[in-house]
Chain A
């Protein structure tokens, strides 16, 4: 090999044998298999067979429609009430009864869906996307990038949730001010994101760390996959399950957190409606009109359950071994 007189021609590459890849005559078996089914199609085919998926999807659809078009579910104005009728039990006119101001509890529960659903879904999406992205970057790149991002996450993680949320909301939404409902919803969602992303970042980071060493990542590198493709095809799909489970639980806890902040007077304020506000208002009248607390709470629990069930069925469908 060190002989200077050696012929430096490129190594002869004998053609691929007949029947090999390059023969045009190879019979085409394609038509019978039809159009190739993508990965999402596989997951969808699996989801379609799960009753749990259909039930939760139906419930979530109902809640989403309720949030977007509450007037489809009731023709009663949720803000109108007669003090004469206050604290009535359920009746033909007011199915769930009436609150302290004589307003219809059913209508208020329907209209309350919007704030709860919008805030929790947006905050969850943001938390999972931000935390997940930072987690992937931190886990995959490692080194000083990981060190820096993890320390920043630690700082945010160290903030007590309520104190942090109070601080943010008290600054931007002080009691006595009357910003628009949309602005408050956005503020609440942002403060939930800011204070919660470190948890999803840590979940993603540890999932990435365990997947990063897997043989199939090394094999993908050995076959010449680009770093971007390795992250997209091999790292993220194998880390999704734990994030998904966490995010469905997060939706539930965010609905609760939104209610808590409303109760403390820094979130949405009456006359705005949310399940959280209603539950808090109703506490003192639990014995007079149990429905005032019970119905919004039942909606809240059902919504949380629907999201958890949806997450669970998607997680199962994503894992080929459970099929």
Chain B
């Protein structure tokens, strides 16, 4: 566990997006627990990742792998209690957010780091027009007049490609279709021009054709604004075109981190292989879908050794006893598997 903090996936010299500047947001060795009546659920067990300006990091994992909880901890919207940060740090521009006052953290939200939620209908206040909700941010945070704030709201709705933004600004969330609503949600989070955008499964609630449009839009906005983006998803298909790097999470840990191409071409962890194999393929039509056997572990009783070993096709004796640390297995990639070197070099 200690060795995790020595992880150097993002050494200087590793370049992505807008050059080798210091990462905007660094999560280091983060531990989060939930204290419940049944016991302590260890939801995040030493997560380390970072994102730079102009870069998209995809965080991939099954439900319950801790990807959303990590994001909520970054945003400071985790319910505490029952949640508790048990260790680690979250640095924004090098400053530890977990050590900041509540007021300081609040000021970062929206302007420094913003978040797009999964279900836009429930994430928008039903009692106010979308224009009012967006304009309010300009009025409160930027001190703009009503008229100016509304003009800005129309502008940002235009930027997320809502047709006829000038008219639609006076409409209520329920009057928008699912895809348009997600665009409103994106406009809302981009209103204050954040440097980092966290998108928590932004397309899960949408149908497939709209999913592609929203992903394209997010990618385009990220590129134009040179934002750092953390894209949380359980859908490998979604991330291929958009992400620069992928971090795969399992049982509250990062099990593999790599560039997109490397990860797809030559996965370095049996869990990643399982995920890639379980994408339905057109040439296997009619055959049974391939799945990863078993269920994600109960976070109150995480298996000894490598938490993936009960489901892992290549598990050996060592896997049941020793927790494999996340180690560098290539210039830009890391894997937490006892056999990582072997797997990567073979590919």
Which of B120-128, B208-216, B323-331 touches A?
Answer: B120-128
Tell me if A1 and B195 are in contact (CB < 8 A).
no
A239 to B1, CA, bound (A): 47
Pick from A8, A220, A321 the residue with the most CB of B within 10 Å: A220
Does any Cβ of A come within 8 Å of B53's Cβ?
A: yes
CB distance from B335 to the nearest CB of A (A): 19
Report B313-337 residues with CB < 8 Å from chain A CB: none
Given the interface contacts A11-B22, A320-B174, does A238 sit within 8 Å of B127 by beta carbon?
yes
Tell me if B122 and A223 are in contact (CB < 8 A).
no
A237 to B132, CA, bound (A): 14
- Of the candidates B123, B125, B147, the one whose C-beta lies within 8 Å of that of A238 is B125
Tell me if A233 and B154 are in contact (CB < 8 A).
no
- Of the candidates A16, A224, A238, the one whose C-beta lies within 8 Å of that of B225 is A16
- Of the candidates A8, A33, A237, the one whose C-beta lies within 8 Å of that of B127 is A237
Nearest-neighbor residue (CB-CB) of B114 within chain A: A223
Tell me if A215 and B195 are in contact (CB < 8 A).
no
Tell me if B107 and A11 are in contact (CB < 8 A).
no
A221 to B74, CA, bound (A): 12
Tell me if B75 and A222 are in contact (CB < 8 A).
yes
Tell me if B193 and A221 are in contact (CB < 8 A).
no
Does any Cβ of A come within 8 Å of B339's Cβ?
A: no
Tell me if B127 and A320 are in contact (CB < 8 A).
yes
Report B109-147 residues with CB < 8 Å from chain A CB: 109-111, 114-115, 117, 119, 122-129, 131-132, 135-137, 140-141, 146-147
Tell me if B108 and A11 are in contact (CB < 8 A).
no
A66 to B114, CA, bound (A): 56
Does any Cβ of A come within 8 Å of B256's Cβ?
A: no
For residue A42, which residues in chain B have a CB less than 8 angstroms away from its CB? 129, 170
A6 to B166, CA, bound (A): 47
Which of A22-30, A68-76, A93-101, A281-289 touches B?
Answer: A22-30
Does any Cβ of B come within 8 Å of A318's Cβ?
A: yes
- How many contacting A-B pairs (Cβ < 8 A)? 160
Tell me if A221 and B53 are in contact (CB < 8 A).
no
For residue A226, which residues in chain B have a CB less than 8 angstroms away from its CB? 106
Tell me if B108 and A224 are in contact (CB < 8 A).
yes
Instruction: Mark contacts of A283-298 with chain B using CB atoms, 8 A cut-off: 1 yes-contact digit, 0 otherwise.
Output: 0000000000000000
Tell me if A14 and B127 are in contact (CB < 8 A).
no
Tell me if B54 and A14 are in contact (CB < 8 A).
yes
Report A14-41 residues with CB < 8 Å from chain B CB: 14, 16-17, 19-21, 26, 28-30, 32-33, 35-39
Does any Cβ of A come within 8 Å of B33's Cβ?
A: no
- Of the candidates B23, B140, B152, B185, the one whose C-beta lies within 8 Å of that of A1 is B23
Tell me if B226 and A35 are in contact (CB < 8 A).
no
Tell me if A7 and B22 are in contact (CB < 8 A).
yes
Instruction: Mark contacts of B1-43 with chain A using CB atoms, 8 A cut-off: 1 yes-contact digit, 0 otherwise.
Output: 0000110101110000011011110101000000000000000
Chain A interface bracket (under 10, 10 to 19, 20 to 34, 35 or more): 35 or more
Does any Cβ of A come within 8 Å of B188's Cβ?
A: yes
Tell me if A14 and B226 are in contact (CB < 8 A).
yes
For residue A39, which residues in chain B have a CB less than 8 angstroms away from its CB? 127-129, 132
A232 to B226, CA, bound (A): 34
For residue B126, which residues in chain A have a CB less than 8 angstroms away from its CB? 216, 238, 320-321
A19 to B132, CA, bound (A): 22
Given the interface contacts A1-B23, A1-B26, A29-B166, does A220 sit within 8 Å of B125 by beta carbon?
yes
Does any Cβ of A come within 8 Å of B261's Cβ?
A: no
Tell me if B110 and A30 are in contact (CB < 8 A).
no
Tell me if B141 and A224 are in contact (CB < 8 A).
yes
Does any Cβ of A come within 8 Å of B251's Cβ?
A: no
A147 to B93, CA, bound (A): 41
A interface residues, Cβ below 8 angstroms from B: 1-3, 5-14, 16-17, 19-21, 26, 28-30, 32-33, 35-39, 42, 214-216, 218-226, 229, 233-234, 237-238, 318-321, 323
- 21 CB < 8 A contacts A-B: A5-B12, A7-B12, A11-B21, A12-B21, A14-B18, A19-B159, A20-B224, A30-B150, A36-B146, A39-B127, A215-B117, A216-B124, A219-B115, A219-B188, A222-B77, A222-B114, A222-B189, A223-B110, A223-B114, A223-B189, A321-B126
B interface residues, Cβ below 8 angstroms from A: 5-6, 8, 10-12, 18-19, 21-24, 26, 28, 50, 52-54, 75-77, 93-94, 106-111, 114-115, 117, 119, 122-129, 131-132, 135-137, 140-141, 146-147, 149-152, 154-156, 159, 166, 169-170, 172, 174, 185, 188-189, 192-193, 195, 224-226
Q: A36-B131, A39-B129 are in contact. List 6 more A-B contacts (CB 8 A).
A: A14-B226, A20-B225, A37-B170, A220-B125, A221-B75, A320-B127
